[in-house]
């Protein structure tokens, strides 16, 4: 048996408290590195245990996995069950669907892969994911599926090269992480191969006792340096930095030094082993499991991020729940007071995994089970499903390039707008996702005047030639440039006389999503903006000049007012909790948001004899801008119109078709 080390529990306490305070909103910019410390500790303790049992010829995979089940499963599945019940009563369908996917992934220990897939443009904010923190458990369990087999294989085939092989695997994983953090940061963060080295580092120091200090001064020096490295990581690293990568060396080397130093009695290790810290270390697993769901659900119920007093309250509540979880759930299973035999234990574990997984499947299959909501809430939330086909992959290309290709655009293999006939194409609607949202309005007006057109739309890509979209990554910006070149080719080949340019212009000009910065948008807070007027003006001038050379008349469509809030979600939650919530943005706020974009559009329209269509008056009076009518939201989210509201805007385009298409038809005749 390994002798108990209170200093390692103290190190666990530092790890878990850094994570908890970071998640609760306190200024520990690198508090998330606590997970990396956990990985090193786990690798050290488990490797030492396995190596000792292998050397004594008594290692058994069945015994090993029984210990893992007793250590991990009881509290973990209690958290999953509690989260499932709470989410059922609190979450709206879209959030509940994502919860269903995550709870199934967590139960089967692949949640790191699930969250890796979800990371991207359309991912829901992390504050709505009560099981997000389970990615680290998935990484650890995936590691322990492979690692004991590796140690057994080394013992059988190359026992004298064990340290060398583990060292090479550690270095290889670290190098892989360095590459991934540069080219695929989500992969480096979530996937086990890039995290393997952190656990293996703990294993390496467990297998190499000669690394431990032999003199007190060396022990003090190592422990002090290790603690300083960890503190530098907690207060010096931030989410904006590339992580894990080379920066993960700070917490991992720091943890390794403290563990090694603790093999000799020294003041730093005694400090870490003090009873308060050691006790928090004992309950650290339960504290880690429970704290994040408590934060997520508390914030969700409150409707805003934690303030300082609420953060302290949530930390205190998490400590209480963690103590109860450790006392009532963890200890009885680990001490074999419950399910004392292996077979019933494994059977119960398998049944629990299956039951939670089936619950997740049912949540997803029922599309978030909207029937559980009160009728009035369900009617409001149904607006999120009121998107037209022009915003789907059948007609529109999302940021993951699902939908029509550039070749499809050049060939005109696109969704039709207006009448469906074989006459020459009368018009093109070209833009980002707001073009897809506005398309039903233009479609209805075109039908009225017997015009036919096509839609070219791609997520995050305003219809500007040779333009770097705001917040656009290098690959995505290149994709936008290629898409817009293809759209121009289509206009030239088909001699399309009328083009509508539709985009979320304020976002491009100000560089601010306004409402998509996070789930708890607060219009009273100031969000960072950048004046990109010069870039947008240059892109629009280039585009209008190219279209003018093709003798095209351009309609610049100003963006709709942005509420900032996810409208159906905010109104449905207000109805659910029977509170009055006014999310209509003031007219002066809308005007300020749109001002620079409108100036650019009107100036460029005058310069190139283009026209401007502005839907603002259809939403706003002198005081406010409406986001709903009689409980029926105008938006599917924070900025995209519902299909029915877009259709209400069709009169805006009547004069366009009446004036320009009739003239063009006469010209063709």
Supply the pLDDT for residue 477. Answer: 79
Higher pLDDT, 127 or 380: 380
Residue 668 has pLDDT above 60, yes or no: no
Supply the pLDDT for residue 122. Answer: 43
Buried b (16+ CB within 10 A) or exposed e, 282-317: bbbbbbbbbbbbbbbbbbbeeeebbeeebbeebbee
CA dihedral (644, 647, 649, 652) in degrees, to 10, reads 180
Cα–Cα distance for residue pair 418/550, rounded to 1 Å: 23
At 386, phi and psi to the nearest 5? -90, 50
Residue 666 exposed, middle or buried by CB count within 10 Å (0-12, 13-18, 19+): exposed
- Cα distances (angstroms) measured from residue 116 to each of 139, 186, 189, 287, 477: 12, 6, 8, 24, 22
Q: What are the tens digits of pLDDT across the range 522-538?
A: 777 777 778 899 999 99
Supply the pLDDT for residue 511. Answer: 87
Q: What are the tens digits of pLDDT across the range 228-247?
A: 999 999 999 998 899 999 99
Residues 6+ apart with CB under 8 A from 448: 650, 654, 657
Mean pLDDT of all residues in 624-633: 92
Cα–Cα distance for residue pair 522/350, rounded to 1 Å: 44
Lowest mean pLDDT among 7-11, 240-244, 278-282: 240-244
Angle (CA) 656 662 668, round 5°? 130
Name the pTM for this structure.
Answer: 0.85
Quick one: DSSP state of residue 214?
-
At 613, phi and psi to the nearest 5? -110, 125
Cα–Cα distance for residue pair 254/272, rounded to 1 Å: 14
Residue 331 exposed, middle or buried by CB count within 10 Å (0-12, 13-18, 19+): middle
Paired tokens of 653: 């385009």
Higher pLDDT, 475 or 452: 452
Cα–Cα distance for residue pair 431/454, rounded to 1 Å: 12
Q: What are the tens digits of pLDDT across the range 338-348?
A: 888 999 999 99
Residues 6+ apart with CB under 8 A from 582: none
Mean pLDDT of all residues in 569-592: 88
Quick one: DSSP state of residue 619?
T
Paired tokens of 61: 């995979």
Residue 123 has pLDDT above 70, yes or no: no
Mean pLDDT of all residues in 143-170: 94
CA dihedral (655, 660, 663, 667) in degrees, to 10, reads -160
% residues pLDDT > 70 (the chain): 96
Residue 5 has pLDDT above 70, yes or no: yes
Query: What rounded mean pLDDT belongs to the chain?
Result: 92
Supply the pLDDT for residue 663. Answer: 63
Domain boundaries, the chain: 6-367, 387-518+528-668
For residue 506, give the nearest of 619, 632, 601, 420 by alpha carbon.
Answer: 601
Cα–Cα distance for residue pair 251/41, rounded to 1 Å: 11
Chain center to CA of 370: 23
Mean pLDDT of all residues in 82-92: 95
> How long, in residues, is the chain?
669
Run of H or E residues at 553: strand 553-557
**H-helix segments, 128-265:** 135-157, 162-183, 185-190, 192-207, 216-236, 249-261
Q: Are 433 and 442 in contact (CB under 8 A)?
A: no
Cα–Cα distance for residue pair 609/342, rounded to 1 Å: 80
Cα–Cα distance for residue pair 360/263, rounded to 1 Å: 45
Residue 448 exposed, middle or buried by CB count within 10 Å (0-12, 13-18, 19+): middle
Buried b (16+ CB within 10 A) or exposed e, 366-384: eebbbeebeeebbebbbbb
Residue 357 has pLDDT above 60, yes or no: yes
% residues pLDDT > 90 (the chain): 80
Question: What's the pLDDT band for 121 if we cut at 50, 70, 90?
Answer: very low
Assess whether the previous peptide bond of 277 is cis (omega < 30° from 0): no
Higher pLDDT, 471 or 641: 641
Cα–Cα distance for residue pair 371/362, rounded to 1 Å: 13
Cα–Cα distance for residue pair 222/457, rounded to 1 Å: 58
Supply the pLDDT for residue 517. Answer: 62
Cα–Cα distance for residue pair 564/27, rounded to 1 Å: 26
3 state DSSP class of 429: strand
Question: What's the pLDDT band for 124 if we cut at 50, 70, 90?
Answer: low
Please determine, looking at this structure, whether the domain spanning 387-518+528-668 carries the CATH number 3.40.710.10: no
Q: Are 297 and 314 in contact (CB under 8 A)?
A: no
Supply the pLDDT for residue 518. Answer: 65
Strands ordered across the beta sheet of 553-557: 416-418, 452-457, 427-431, 498-502, 553-557, 611-613
Mean pLDDT of all residues in 488-510: 95
């Amino acid at each position: 048996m390994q002798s108990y080390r209170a200093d390692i529990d103290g190190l666990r306490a530092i790890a878990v408290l850094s994570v908890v305070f970071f998640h609760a909103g306190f200024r520990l910019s690198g508090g998330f590195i606590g997970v990396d410390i956990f990985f090193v500790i786990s690798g050290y303790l488990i490797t030492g245990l396995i190596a000792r049992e292998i050397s004594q010829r008594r290692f058994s995979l069945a015994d090993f996995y029984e210990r893992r089940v007793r250590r991990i499963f009881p509290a973990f599945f209690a958290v999953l069950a509690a989260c499932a019940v709470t989410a059922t009563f609190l979450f709206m369908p879209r959030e509940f669907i994502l919860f269903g996917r995550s709870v199934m992934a967590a139960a089967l220990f692949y949640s790191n892969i699930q969250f890796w897939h979800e990371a991207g443009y359309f991912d829901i904010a992390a504050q709505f994911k009560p099981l997000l923190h389970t990615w680290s458990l998935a990484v650890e369990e995936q590691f322990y599926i492979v690692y004991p087999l590796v140690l057994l294989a080394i013992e059988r085939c190359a026992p004298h090269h064990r340290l060398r092989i583990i060292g090479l695997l550690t270095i290889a994983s670290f190098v892989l992480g360095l590459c991934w953090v540069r080219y695929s940061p989500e992969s480096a963060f979530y996937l086990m191969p890039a995290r393997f080295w952190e656990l293996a580092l703990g294993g390496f120091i467990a297998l190499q006792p000669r690394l431990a200090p032999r003199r007190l001064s060396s022990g003090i020096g190592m422990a002090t340096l290790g603690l300083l490295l960890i503190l530098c990581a907690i207060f010096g690293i931030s989410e904006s930095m590339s992580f894990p990568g080379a920066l993960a060396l700070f917490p991992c080397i720091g943890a390794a030094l403290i563990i090694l130093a603790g093999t000799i009695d020294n003041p730093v290790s005694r400090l870490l082993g003090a009873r308060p810290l050691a006790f928090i270390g004992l309950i650290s697993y339960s504290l880690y499991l429970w704290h994040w769901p408590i934060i997520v659900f508390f914030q969700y119920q409150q409707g805003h991020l934690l303030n300082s007093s609420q953060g302290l309250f949530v930390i205190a509540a998490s400590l209480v729940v963690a103590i109860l979880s450790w006392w009532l759930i963890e200890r009885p299973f680990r001490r074999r007071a419950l399910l004392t035999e292996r077979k019933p234990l494994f059977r119960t574990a398998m049944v629990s995994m299956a039951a939670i997984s089936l619950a997740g499947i049912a949540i997803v299959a029922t599309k978030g089970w909207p029937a559980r909501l009160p009728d009035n809430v369900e009617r409001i939330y149904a607006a999120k499903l009121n998107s037209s086909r022009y915003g789907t992959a059948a007609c529109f290309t999302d940021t993951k390039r699902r939908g029509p290709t550039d070749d499809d655009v050049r060939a005109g293999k696109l969704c039709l707008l207006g009448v469906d006939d074989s006459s020459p194409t009368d018009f093109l609607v070209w833009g980002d996702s707001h073009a897809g949202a506005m398309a039903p309005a233009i479609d209805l007006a075109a039908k009225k005047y017997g015009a036919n057109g096509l839609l070219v739309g791609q997520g995050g890509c305003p219809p500007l030639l040779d333009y770097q979209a705001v917040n656009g990554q290098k690959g995505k910006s290149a994709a936008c440039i290629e898409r817009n070149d293809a759209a121009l080719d289509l206009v030239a080949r088909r001699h399309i006389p009328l083009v509508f340019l539709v985009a979320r212009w304020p976002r491009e000009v100000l560089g601010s999503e306004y409402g998509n910065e996070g789930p708890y948008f607060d219009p009273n807070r100031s969000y960072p903006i950048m004046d990109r007027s010069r870039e947008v003006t240059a892109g629009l001038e280039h585009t209008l000049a190219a279209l003018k050379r093709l003798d095209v008349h351009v309609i610049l469509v100003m963006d709709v007012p942005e509420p900032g809030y996810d409208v159906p979600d905010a109104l449905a939650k207000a109805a659910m909790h029977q509170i009055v919530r006014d999310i209509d943005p003031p007219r002066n706020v809308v005007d300020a948001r749109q001002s620079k974009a409108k100036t650019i559009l009107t100036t460029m329209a005058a310069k190139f004899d283009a026209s401007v269509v502005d839907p603002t008056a259809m939403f706003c009076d002198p005081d406010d801008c409406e986001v709903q009518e009689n409980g029926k939201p105008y938006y599917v989210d924070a900025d995209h119109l519902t299909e029915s509201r877009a259709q209400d805007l069709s009169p805006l385009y009547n004069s366009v078709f009446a004036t320009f298409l009739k003239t063009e038809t006469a010209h063709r005749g």
